[in-house]
Amino acid sequence: MSLVFNRKIEMFLKKEDEHSLDGQSKICNWLYNQLVQAARDDYEKGSPLELLRGRNLRDYATNMKESHPFRSFGRFIRLC
């Protein structure tokens, strides 16, 4: 039997830090939703891209930077 502990810690942030974290969270959420949709579409089409094998999904996310230059999520991929 394993035992898991959780602890909530209240953080006091400056407004600029709150906005920064909120922006990063939105980028991660957007990227996650895009990857889930791409994986579903790929699976339904018979897996021509094979996104669910190996590192294909990660590579697909990295390549999304070219098609979505307004999203500066390159450094946030590791955080998500």
How far apart (Å, rounded) are the C-alpha atoms in residues 43 and 59? Answer: 17
Cβ–Cβ < 8 Å for 52, 42:
yes
Task: Express each pLDDT in 1-56 by its tens digit.
Answer: 788 888 999 989 999 989 888 888 888 898 899 999 999 998 898 888 888 888 88
The predicted pLDDT at position 68 comes to 75
How far apart (Å, rounded) are the C-alpha atoms in residues 13 and 16? Answer: 8
The predicted pLDDT at position 60 comes to 87
DSSP designation for 48: S
Tell how far CA 40 is from the center of its chain: 16
Q: Is the pLDDT of residue 78 over 80?
A: no
